[in-house]
Structure 1
Amino acid sequence: MANQVNNNLIDNDIQQSFQNFQILNQNKIEQPASLFDQGKEQFQQQHKFLAVFSLLKFVAATIIIILRQTLFSNEQPIKQYNHLFDVAYLEIWIYLSCLHSFFAFIYYIKLLRLIDDIMQSQKVAKEMGYLIEFYIPNSFSDQQMQNYIDEQIKMQNQEIFIRQRINDQGNDSRRFNQISNEIKKTLLKNNLSLNLHGKSCFIAFQFIQLWCIIFYFYSQTNKNQEEMYKFITMYKGYIFSVVFIGVYQYLQIYIMVLLVIIFLPILLIYSLYNWLNKHFNKKYKQIKIDDSLQEALFSSLEIVDDKECSICMTQFLDQEYIVTLPCSSTHRFHSSCIRSWLQVNNKCPLCRSEVNIYSEDNL
């Protein structure tokens, strides 16, 4: 027995050594699938645009600040800090927007550098299930190796298409956009500091955007300041561009929030209506049951066979209220038992005949 165990161990060691020898004599190929490459390309295009937009916004804000301090330095309006949409806060807002644009530009550049890194790109593709992996024996010639690589890449790409339930392998911007979003989520999941950086920029931008929208509409009702101070027109042009590009950038999120704002009250009202409807129906049913059932006091002196409630399976006691259903004089139950029963089932517990608690005779 001991010899057999030793032989098995030796065989396992030989097999493991042979497998290790095979791996050592093979070249491992790792390459992202074509779907991932297309999603990555779209990711890069989107974030290059956002990086350029953030840089232009930073440059524009810087130019406006410089012009304000030079050409328009003589225009000094009375500042009222007690009013949230006064010119005083407009000047503070431009500094905040400039600072936000700078940090947003850094955020997008960091994302682009991460995905441009080959090792990081392969890691993301592997986590998402879009990495092609196979070994090539060293014994292959150059032509055999190239044929084998082409065959494996084609086969595994097709497997990924099948796994993702994609029939058409042509251009599909929605699919690539989805993969692009998955790439971003995976990158941020693996980089906590960059994730916090991005979320901070997003939240800050929403406050900046909301303030400038309200200020823009508020300023429409106050034309005197715009006529007196020329620099306000310059600020408003910058505000308009920030709002326009910001809405384009976060359009999907804004649409989702708008739908929630519109449909949430409708859903709440509908849910409240259903709850009230069920509540009052239950009350109405209880009232009809109370009106339709005839109660009587049980007496142990009665000469009857059925002295037990078939619902709770206990004996009737003296002076207990019992109910006799119209289907049979022998179908008697505790009043509380039959009331609870009829709340969920309008049939007699014994003969299953329907107990009509809504008949006009009982109204």
Structure 2
Amino acid sequence: MLENIKQLLIPQSRERYGIYPNVLKEVFSQLSKGVQIYIYFTISKLLLTLIFLGEALKCELSESHSTATTLILHCIFLLYHEFKYKMELENIEKLSQIQQVLEQEGMNLEQIPDRQSFNKLMMTVKKSIFSQCPDLNRESKYLNFLAQVIIIRFFILMLNSPFNFNMFQYFQETCDANLLNVMFIMVLSMFLEFIFLYCLLVVIVIALPLLCCLSIYRKGKQLYSIRKLKKYLESIPPHKYTGLDDAWMKEDKICCICMQEYVHNENILQLPCSGQHQFHESCVRNWFDVSNSCPICRQQLG
């Protein structure tokens, strides 16, 4: 019994998986070390919560005690789940099946790939282990749900507590302040595990509609500026090109939009930008159907 517990608590080295190809040795070793770190972290959370809950029991029973108890139960179930996952990483038969599947897919298991491909392979192996053990997958969903319940309960508890801008002294006026401060750090760590899910939810529910509204507003503002500019340009009389050295001609005798030389009696429009650039009247009016800036200097004219 003690030998089995010792085996579960000590991370397995790469050499431990000597019967497998080089890539799988590294994958199984990294997964084992990751589980090991998570087990130590969960044991630390469990012990700290138990210590500070015992200290807080001298206070009047409150919602903080029930939340701490729920957190302790979550840590116990999580340890059971991680120990079971660790045992699956020691199951030679299931790991051999994963090796066969990967080899059938034509994957090179002798040469360690680049970091991105290696991480992708780790996720594939982890999903394969979970798919071979439905209990792990089901337990993981229950634990995630329980963690979210704890997070929501704790934030509700914070709303009902005296407010203090110093987060480390947020609960200083309560009898069980030490327990609550320790739980705050633990719940924050749990929240960080779900932060990508919450960020995705925020993007979908809040950010995406705001971005759509902002895009519509900017497009409407641009169209309004274009209409306003076109109306303003209609009040500017065009010049008639005579082919001579006209005083108003400030540039080469070519339209930079259509790249055609000016022809006698063509209408030339001079823009009110800093360079007073000139173009065919028809070309520049078509240009301002889609933009409100000068085609050459890009100065905004709307």
Match of residue 65, structure 1, among 33, 41, 53 = 53
After superposition, residues 2-151 of structure 1 pair within 5 angstroms as 32-69=20-57, 73=58, 75-76=59-60, 88-127=62-101, 129-130=102-103
Which structure's CA Rg is the greater one?
1
Match of residue 186, structure 2, among 242, 248, 259 = 242
Higher relative contact order (CA 8 A, sep 6+): 1
Q: Do the aligned partners of 1:107 and 1:194 also contact (CA within 8 Å) in 2?
A: yes
How large is the Cα RMSD of the aligned pairs?
3.7
Moved more, 92-101 or 177-186: 177-186
Q: CA deviation at 1:62?
A: 1.7
TM-score, length-scaled by structure 1: 0.46
| Whole-angstrom CA distance in 2 between matches of 1:58 and 1:48 | 15
Q: CA deviation at 1:65?
A: 2.5
Structure 1 unaligned regions, length at least 5: 1-29, 78-87, 134-154, 162-168, 274-363
| Whole-angstrom CA distance in 2 between matches of 1:179 and 1:170 | 9
Give the 3 Å change call, closer, same or farther, for CA 264–34 of structure 1 in structure 2.
farther
Letter in 1 for 2:131: K
Paired residue total: 197
Q: Do the aligned partners of 2:45 and 2:75 also contact (CA within 8 Å) in 1?
A: yes
Letter in 2 for 1:76: E
| Whole-angstrom CA distance in 2 between matches of 1:114 and 1:248 | 26
Q: Which residue of 2 aligns with 1:11?
A: none
The structure 1 segments of at least 4 consecutive aligned residues displaced by more than 4 Å after TM superposition are 130-133, 225-228, 266-270
Match of residue 187, structure 1, among 129, 135, 139 = 129
Give the 3 Å change call, closer, same or farther, for CA 33–62 of structure 1 in structure 2.
same
C-alpha offsets along residues 165-191 of structure 1, whole Å, 9 cap, x if unaligned?
xxxx5651x433322222221112111
| Whole-angstrom CA distance in 2 between matches of 1:156 and 1:182 | 14
| Whole-angstrom CA distance in 2 between matches of 1:251 and 1:222 | 24
Task: Name the SS of the counterpart of 1:116 in structure 2.
Answer: coil
| Identity among equivalent pairs (%) | 15
| Whole-angstrom CA distance in 2 between matches of 1:202 and 1:37 | 29
Give the 3 Å change call, closer, same or farther, for CA 58–258 of structure 1 in structure 2.
same
Task: Name the SS of the counterpart of 1:219 in structure 2.
Answer: coil
More strand by share: 1
Letter in 1 for 2:34: Q
Structure 2 unaligned regions, length at least 5: 1-17, 217-302
Q: Do the aligned partners of 1:31 and 1:131 also contact (CA within 8 Å) in 2?
A: no
| Whole-angstrom CA distance in 1 between matches of 2:92 and 2:24 | 13
Letter in 2 for 1:256: L
TM-score, length-scaled by structure 2: 0.54
Letter in 2 for 1:43: L
